[in-house]
Amino acid sequence: TQLLEQSPQFLSIQEGENLTVYCNSSSVFSSLQWYRQEPGEGPVLLVTVVTGGEVKKLKRLTFQFGDARKDSSLHITAAQPGDTGLYLCAGDASNFGNEKLTFGTGTRLTIIP
C-alpha cells in the first residue's frame, strides 16, 4: 500500500502570511493531484503535476512535484480567508500497475482575518 503523508496536519495563520504544505511518500507516482475541500462539499481538483521537478502556479498558489516524483509541495502567498479548507494530495501510480489514486492524510488550513 502506498502512503502519502501530509504535513502539517493542521495550520492556522493570519491573513497575508505565506505558508507551505508538504506531501511525502516513499513511493514513486506518475502524477500527483492537489484537491481542496470546503465544509459540506466534496474535494475539488486544483492542479495535476506530471513531470518530476514541475512547478505550476495558480494565482497565489504554487505547486511543485519533486524531482524523484515521490513528494510535492503547495505554497500559498499572502493567504486569504477564502483559502481556508482541507487540502488533499493524491498520487497516481497507474503507470506502475495501480489504477487508482492514493490520497494523503490532509492538511486543514485556517486563515484568520
Partner 1 sequence: DADVTQTPRNRITKTGKRIMLECSQTKGHDRMYWYRQDPGLGLRLIYYSFDVKDINKGEISDGYSVSRQAQAKFSLSLESAIPNQTALYFCATSELANTGELFFGEGSRLTVL
Binding residues for partner 1, rule: CB under 8 A, are 1, 4, 6, 9, 30-31, 33, 35, 40-45, 48, 50, 88, 90, 92, 94-95, 99-101, 103-106
Nearer to partner 1, 40 or 113 (CB): 40
User: C-beta of 28: minimal distance to partner 1 in Å?
Assistant: 15
Nearest CB to partner 1, comparing residues 33 and 83: 33
Residues 6+ apart with CB under 8 A from 28: 68, 69, 70, 93, 96
* Coil/strand/helix, residue 94: helix
Q: How far apart are CB 18 and partner 1 at their closest, in Å? A: 24
SS3 state of residue 76: strand
For residue 75, the minimal CB distance to partner 1 (Å) is: 20
